[in-house]
Amino acid sequence: MDKILRINMGADGGPEAKVDSLGDYAGFGGRGLTSAIVAKEVPPTCHPLSEDNKLVIAPGLLSGSTAAMSGRISVGCKSPLTGGIKEANAGGQPSQMLGRLGYAAIVLEGKPKENNLYKVFINKDGVDIKEDNNLCMLGNYDLVDKMKAEYGEKIACISIGQAGEMKLAGASIAFTDMELRPTRHAGRGGVGAVMGSKGVKVIVVDDAGMKARSPADPDKFREANKEFVAGLKKHPVSGEGLPTYGTNVLTNVINEAGAYPTKNFQLGQFDGCEKISGETQAETENTRGGEGSATHGCHRGCIIRCSGTFYDKDGNYVTKQVEYETVWAHGGNCGIDDLDAIAQIDRLDDDYGLDTIEMGATIAVAMEAGLAEFGDAQAAINMVKEVGKGSHLGRILGSGAAVTGKVLGVARVPVVKGQAMPAYDPRGIQGIGVTYATSTMGADHTAGYAVSSNIMGVGGKTDPLSPEGQVELSRNLQIATAAVDATGMCLFIAFPLLDQPETFQALIDLINAFSGANLTADDVTELGKSILKKEREFNLQAGLTAQHDRLPDYFQKEQLPPHNITFKVTNEELDQVHNF
């Protein structure tokens, strides 16, 4: 994996592909690589949909190898939603395939001179780029079916639906899963709109004839992988909780904590939560049965398998097992307690290519504006369909919660840097509020994840009970997360790393045995710091300053029932996060 595929979509005479060596980017992968390229090559003040922006798609450092959990993929660009740097990541098969083909990244550059749509085919023999305007305004599902008919069943696809073609700021990029369905999305920040602006509808990847990447030290690699897998399997979260219930296991717990944003962040608990909880979802899926119903991986090589497949009551495939954030966004946040309706909306989001968190938050804002009643599932489905149709209302909704709030005159809009907050009310879990406010990505729950700060050697030196302690924790978590994102590992490895030092060591051994490097925990921390610094610097130059590291002020003023609390971390404290 030592080359970068650059496709200049604006070249004279049509799109032009060239293969570069990694050069200065050697040693980077995943978010480390996307952010390095964007920070170095994209002018921070450019318009995100202009020819100057670049879309970078990068497998993780270990993708394409047989290392467990290594198949996540990062997408980076300047975000049309936040105006800052963006990394959104996804599961699915393309990461492993691109890794095996030797690509550390695909970079889409420039912009087509005419308003044409292209498909890109990549295999061991090279790259083929074809104009194909027949793909215009196809949903991701129909599009993938067409690609299967054309290129066979052994491919993987990276694609956009209608939302990306319309360049809406809520548009995602779809990655096909093991069943060749477009269910895994780099959702956040409008990355799909940037792919749309490049005129690329789909990238088809075929790794036939390629072998798994071989490690520098195969024996040590095998040993470390074995230890790493054993660590994941023995931990109750990764070995039992996630495979049994999926990420939606959080619904009951966050609701009990009074931190479950309900009806556009008006309440901290949802009456209908039990009907849409992970426990109910798993039981429903198990009862309905079907291939991969309650426990399934989003890519080959996933040991945890937090995903699944959602079938309707008659056994027809609807969508993948809907994740916690989506169940919340389209469920409790809109007052909807019907799992089947939520699954239908998830399917529509995946088909049109929309970020489920952004869309759920947007519909809730629209409900608050009076476009529909909270709890009206059919109205929510209709709103998403408007986006697919590209009606005026649909284009507004597809542009996200901030735009919709402005157009509809709603003051309670839960966004930071223009991006909608995920499924945890920052008044209930204030440390998450610090991360929402100060993340380089806009409000993002994965920006400061649960990798142990003490294990990673960046532990809090201040009293953890003080406000400064919260700030320091959030900072350390953001650093650790950036480092894990660079490996291409799924963030759900975090818990075993947190609790089991030997599993964390196995991960470092795995990276070293693969690459021949001699990384220590401190080096991993430095990697995380350097990624965050680059991202922060890009944002500053793009005009996002400390004044943008704030939650909307109603979080400081409106008390959240049932605990009746407000967000208490001061602006001065928030400003300390990036002091490192």
Contacts to ligand SF4 by CB under 6 A: 69, 91, 297-299, 302, 304-307, 490, 492
- Report if residue 339 touches other proteins, rule: CB under 8 A: no
Supply the minimum distance, in Å, between the C-beta of residue 289 and ligand SF4.
20
Query: Of the candidates 393, 429, 519, 521, which one interacts with other proteins according to CB under 8 A?
Result: 429
- Report if residue 292 touches other proteins, rule: CB under 8 A: no
Q: Rounded distance, CA 440 to CA 455, Å? A: 24
- Report if residue 240 touches other proteins, rule: CB under 8 A: yes
CA 100 to chain centre: 22
Stretch that binds other proteins, among 98-106, 182-190, 243-251, 397-405 (CB under 8 A): 243-251
Of residues 96-115, which lie at the interface with other proteins (CB under 8 A)?
none
CB-nearer residue toward other proteins: 199 or 258? 258
Residue 298's binding partner out of other proteins, ligand SF4, none, with CB under 5 to 8 Å set by partner kind: ligand SF4
CA 305 to chain centre: 17
Query: Of the candidates 464, 533, 556, 573, which one interacts with other proteins according to CB under 8 A?
Result: 464
Query: Of the candidates 448, 488, 528, 552, which one interacts with other proteins according to CB under 8 A?
Result: 448
Query: Of the candidates 427, 475, 529, 534, which one interacts with other proteins according to CB under 8 A?
Result: 427
Residue 271's binding partner out of other proteins, ligand SF4, none, with CB under 5 to 8 Å set by partner kind: none
**Total count of residues recorded for the chain:** 580
Contact of 102 with 31, CB cutoff 8 Å: no
| 22 three-class SS | coil
Supply the minimum distance, in Å, between the C-beta of residue 364 and ligand SF4.
25
Residue 89's alpha-carbon distances to 151, 217, 296, 500, in angstroms, are: 25, 29, 19, 25
Supply the minimum distance, in Å, between the C-beta of residue 458 and other proteins.
12
Contact of 295 with 244, CB cutoff 8 Å: yes
Supply the minimum distance, in Å, between the C-beta of residue 503 and other proteins.
14
CA 478 to chain centre: 15
Residue 170's alpha-carbon distances to 182, 349, 472, 497, in angstroms, are: 17, 10, 31, 33
- Report if residue 450 touches other proteins, rule: CB under 8 A: yes
Residue 254's binding partner out of ligand SF4, other proteins, none, with CB under 5 to 8 Å set by partner kind: other proteins
Residue 60's alpha-carbon distances to 63, 167, 276, in angstroms, are: 5, 27, 33
Strand partners, 129: 120
Q: Rounded distance, CA 148 to CA 356, Å? A: 26
Query: Of the candidates 155, 205, 343, 473, which one interacts with other proteins according to CB under 8 A?
Result: 473
- Report if residue 431 touches other proteins, rule: CB under 8 A: yes
Helix or strand holding residue 126 (H, E): strand 126-131
- Report if residue 258 touches other proteins, rule: CB under 8 A: yes
Query: Of the candidates 42, 88, 384, 498, which one interacts with other proteins according to CB under 8 A?
Result: 498
**Residue 373, token pair as written in the block:** 């009643």
CB-nearer residue toward other proteins: 219 or 572? 572
Closest CA relative to residue 325, chosen from 289, 278, 367:
278
Q: Residue 490 contacts by C-beta under 8 Å, 6 or more apart in sequence?
A: 69, 71, 72, 91, 302, 304
Q: Supply the DSSP symbol for 235.
A: S
Supply the minimum distance, in Å, between the C-beta of residue 118 and other proteins.
38
CB-nearer residue toward ligand SF4: 185 or 529? 185
**Residue 449, token pair as written in the block:** 């994840």
Q: Rounded distance, CA 497 to CA 221, Å? A: 18
Residue 302's binding partner out of ligand SF4, other proteins, none, with CB under 5 to 8 Å set by partner kind: ligand SF4
- Report if residue 289 touches other proteins, rule: CB under 8 A: no
- Report if residue 298 touches other proteins, rule: CB under 8 A: no
Strand partners, 183: none
**Residue 572, token pair as written in the block:** 């001065």
- Report if residue 497 touches other proteins, rule: CB under 8 A: no
CB-nearer residue toward ligand SF4: 218 or 236? 236
User: Given strand 184-186, what is the order of strands in its sheet?
Assistant: 126-131, 118-123, 200-205, 156-159, 173-175, 184-186
**Residue 326, token pair as written in the block:** 């989506």
CB-nearer residue toward ligand SF4: 76 or 91? 91
Supply the minimum distance, in Å, between the C-beta of residue 288 and other proteins.
12
Closest CA relative to residue 190, chosen from 419, 414, 435:
419
- Report if residue 252 touches other proteins, rule: CB under 8 A: yes
Stretch that binds other proteins, among 24-32, 55-63, 180-188, 254-262 (CB under 8 A): 254-262
CB-nearer residue toward other proteins: 381 or 565? 565
**Residue 348, token pair as written in the block:** 């529509």
Q: Rounded distance, CA 569 to CA 567, Å? A: 6
Supply the minimum distance, in Å, between the C-beta of residue 374 and other proteins.
20
Stretch that binds other proteins, among 245-253, 331-339, 376-384, 547-555 (CB under 8 A): 245-253
Torsions phi, psi of 41, nearest 5?
A: -110, -15
Residue 297's binding partner out of ligand SF4, other proteins, none, with CB under 5 to 8 Å set by partner kind: ligand SF4
Residue 415's alpha-carbon distances to 60, 399, 400, 569, in angstroms, are: 29, 13, 10, 17
- Report if residue 504 touches other proteins, rule: CB under 8 A: no
Q: Residue 423 carries which side chain, given as an amino acid letter?
A: A
- Report if residue 568 touches other proteins, rule: CB under 8 A: yes
Q: Rounded distance, CA 264 to CA 335, Å? A: 9
Contact of 422 with 416, CB cutoff 8 Å: no
Which residues are near other proteins by CB under 8 A? 236-238, 240-242, 244-245, 247, 249-250, 252-254, 256-259, 269, 274, 277-280, 283, 286-287, 306, 424, 427-432, 434-435, 445-446, 448-450, 452-454, 464-465, 469-470, 473-474, 477, 492, 494-495, 498, 562-563, 565, 568
